């Protein structure tokens, strides 16, 4: 019976997410259509701000629903000097399927609404595709090496498309998030990929370089976020069912050096090597930080 009621609570909490999404989607869609056909830039920017507020309300309600779900212990440090009128690039290690919910809760209404670089094909995903488009998520058009080999004139076109999509962010403070490892950490993935870290996979700099090439001159700083789940990686269903989950979040602000903005990751081998070295140093510090956070947590038990 205890398991039955736990799963019943999970269904109720999940239903709350669905209802919240549908309620926010309706005004989002209406305003997005108005914005699409609105020729006056100042009004378009005003609609954009309202759309971001709707997105923040959606995140706030989702966070409240999660808090109602059960015992979730959120602990975050490094949030004191964040601003809502700044442009940020947020880099995060990837541990769990609920990482994005955690990051959204931590940063909601502290920095501009978080946005992702999304493959252009995903605009056709039902409901979410329209929502992403309405919220000005930057859509990327990526070409495979095989396609470029047959169509060399298209080389560099994907980056130009992404830069064009990011021009709108010059007028509205924006936060772009990048899970640098590309996939969630597991011990088996770490070992199969020969990762030199204890708690991390090796960083992949491709998405980071696209963000830097597209809008690097806009970013005021990089927010280096470290996520730790002392009890093990949580699942979305665990959260919905009210399982006690502890989440530790460490946020560190890093200055953006000029060379990170000016390089050509795709064509400049020396720049690519330098980026990998830079990321390697950050990831080594992050790995040591995770070990320290886990050790400190164990000593308190």
Rounded Cα distance between 110 and 246, Å, is: 21
Contact in structure between 239 and 12 (CB atoms under 8 Å): no
Q: What is the pLDDT of residues 205-245, one digit of tens each?
A: 888 888 888 788 889 999 999 999 998 888 888 888 888 88
pLDDT tens sequence across 79-95: 999 999 999 999 999 99
**Which token pair is 23?**
């309620």
pLDDT of residue 142: 62
Banded pLDDT at 144 (limits 50, 70, 90)? low
pLDDT single digits (tens) 20-66: 988 998 898 899 889 888 888 889 888 888 999 999 999 999 989 88
Report percent pLDDT > 90 for the chain: 43
What CATH class has 72-300?
A: alpha beta
Of 84 and 161, which is predicted with more confidence? 84
- Chain centroid, CA 221 distance in Å: 15
pTM of the model: 0.87
Tokens for 119?
A: 């493959």
In whole angstroms, how far apart are CA 256 and each of 146, 171, 216, 226?
34, 20, 8, 18
9: DSSP letter: H
Cβ atoms of 155 and 148 closer than 8 Å: yes
Q: Where are the domains of the chain?
A: 72-300
Please say if the pLDDT value at position 299 is more than 70. Answer: no
Q: What separation in angstroms does the CA of 245 have from each of 13, 67, 229, 270?
A: 16, 11, 8, 43
Average pLDDT, the chain: 86
**165 confidence band (pLDDT: 50, 70, 90):** low
Query: Residues 6, 232: contact at Cβ < 8 Å?
Result: no
């Amino acid at each position: 019976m205890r398991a039955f009621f736990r799963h019943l609570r999970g269904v109720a909490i999940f239903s709350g997410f669905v209802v919240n999404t549908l309620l926010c989607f309706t005004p989002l869609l209406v305003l997005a259509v108005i914005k699409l056909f609105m020729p006056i830039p100042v009004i378009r920017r005003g609609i954009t701000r309202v759309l971001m507020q709707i997105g923040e309300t959606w995140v706030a309600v989702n966070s409240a629903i999660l808090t109602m779900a059960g015992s979730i212990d959120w602990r975050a440090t490094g949030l004191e000097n964040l601003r809502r009128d700044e442009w940020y690039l947020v880099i995060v290690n990837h541990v769990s399927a609920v990482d994005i919910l955690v990051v959204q809760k931590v940063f909601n209404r502290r920095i501009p609404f978080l946005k992702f670089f999304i493959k252009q094909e995903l605009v056709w995903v039902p409901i979410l595709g329209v929502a992403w488009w309405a919220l000005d998520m930057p859509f990327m058009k990526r070409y495979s090496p095989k396609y470029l080999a047959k169509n060399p004139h298209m080389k560099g076109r994907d980056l130009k498309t992404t830069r064009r999509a990011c021009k709108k962010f010059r007028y509205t403070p924006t936060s772009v998030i990048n899970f640098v490892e590309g996939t969630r950490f597991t011990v088996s993935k770490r070992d199969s990929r020969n990762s030199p870290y204890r708690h991390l996979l090796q960083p992949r700099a491709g998405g980071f370089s696209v963000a830097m090439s597209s809008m690097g001159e806009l970013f005021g700083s990089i927010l280096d976020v470290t996520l730790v789940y002392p009890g093990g990686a949580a699942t979305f269903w665990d959260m919905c069912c009210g399982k006690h989950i502890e989440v530790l979040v460490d946020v560190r602000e890093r200055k953006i050096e000029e060379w990170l903005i000016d390089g050509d990751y795709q064509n400049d081998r020396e720049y690519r090597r330098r980026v990998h070295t830079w990321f390697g140093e950050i990831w080594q510090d992050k790995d040591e930080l995770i070990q320290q956070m886990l050790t400190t947590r164990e000593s308190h038990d």
